[in-house]
Chain A
Amino acid sequence: MNLAEGVRLVSLIILSVMMLGTALGVVLFENIVYSAFTLGGVFISISGLYILLNADFVSAAQILIYVGAVNVLILFAIMLVNKQEDFEVLPRRWIRKVSTAFVSLALFALLATMVLQTNWPVNPSKQPPASSVLAIGIHFFTDYLLPFELASILLLMALVGAVVIARRENIVGEETAIVSEEPPHIFELPERPREPIS
């Protein structure tokens, strides 16, 4: 990828402004649905930054996985817990907000001084590999084979764990009792009544 330097700089500025603005939107919007949609904006602008950094495969994976899977999953979760509740006002909550903002700004100042004062051993002479997909695939199947396989096992564990945690507990043996009657609510699974823990 050999874009001109000016084009790169302008797109870097545009993507940075987009990313920081939408990230602030995620944190600061009152409505949680707006936050979820601006989170999609964050992911898309980060994928543009990856293209600027010659990482085409990671950019495509970012859009596929984050925008396509994680963001949609978060939207589904918002729909499932969509309760318009007004959080009760806590006393002295502004102290927490102000102190957290102070800590975040201080951390940013620390990181910024660290970044600007370190001499990074940048070597711009080396060209990126011709096909990053090829390079990543070779890494996956030679020197990172064990983490690759472990990642597949981890995904399987997360799948099973998410299903086990999130499913409703059905009463075994009560399906037959419903079928005999005329079915007014046949689409509802019988569920054990459960009191919310106060």
Chain B
Amino acid sequence: MNLEYFLLLAAALFCIGIYGLVTSRNAVRVLMSIELLLNAVNINLVAFSNFLDGQNIRGQVFTVFVITIAAAEAAVGLAIILSIYRNRDTVDMEKFNLLKW
């Protein structure tokens, strides 16, 4: 049980999330990948809070904040996906290029 195990685990989860974020074509899967990224950050925060700041656990407080923001982000993101699906009749990320050029 070292700090490095948890940091490596969080780094692996973050890289998996980035791969899914870039390569997936379904818009809902992009949101899931964002959740993976936020969870990797949370693991880092809790690990640092346990190993480096054992007495007053500030990292867990920040984790609760991140969880709150992630819940709000998921709600708004899924609402945006519903709205865009109603307008464009697809969830393909390649078709969402209104603001691209």
Contact = CB atoms under 8 A, between A and B. Distances in A.
Interface of A: 5, 8-9, 12, 16, 19-20, 23-24, 26-27, 32, 35-36, 39, 42-43, 46, 49-50, 52-55, 57-58, 61-62, 65-66, 69-70, 73-74, 76-78, 80-81, 83, 85, 87-88, 90, 96-97, 100-101, 103-105, 107-108, 111-112, 115-116, 120-124, 126-129, 132, 135-136, 139-140, 144, 147, 151, 154-155, 157-159, 161-163, 165-166, 168, 194, 196-197
Contact of A53 (B6, B8, B23): B6
Contacts of A154: 68-69, 72
A74 B29 CA distance: 9
Interface in B70-86: 70-76, 78-83, 85-86
Contacts of A23: 13, 16-17, 36
Given A115-B11, A196-B88, A136 B81 contact: no
Contacts of B14: 107, 111
Interface string B3-27: 1111111011111111110111110
B8 A70 contact: no
Q: Which of B70, B81, B94 has the most CB of A within 10 A?
A: B81
A135 B23 contact: no
B61 A42 contact: no
Nearest to B5: A12
5 contacts: A27-B20, A144-B61, A162-B79, A168-B86, A196-B88
Contacts of B74: 70, 73-74
Contacts of A116: 4
A101 B19 contact: yes
A55 B68 contact: no
A16 to B, nearest CB: 6
A65 B86 CA distance: 27
Given A53-B46, A100-B22, A108-B15, A129 B91 contact: no
Given A26-B33, A66-B67, A127 B54 contact: yes
Contacts of A144: 61
Given A35-B32, A55-B63, A129-B55, A96 B87 contact: no
B43 A104 contact: no
A166 B82 contact: yes
Given A87-B94, A90-B94, A158-B76, A49 B9 contact: yes
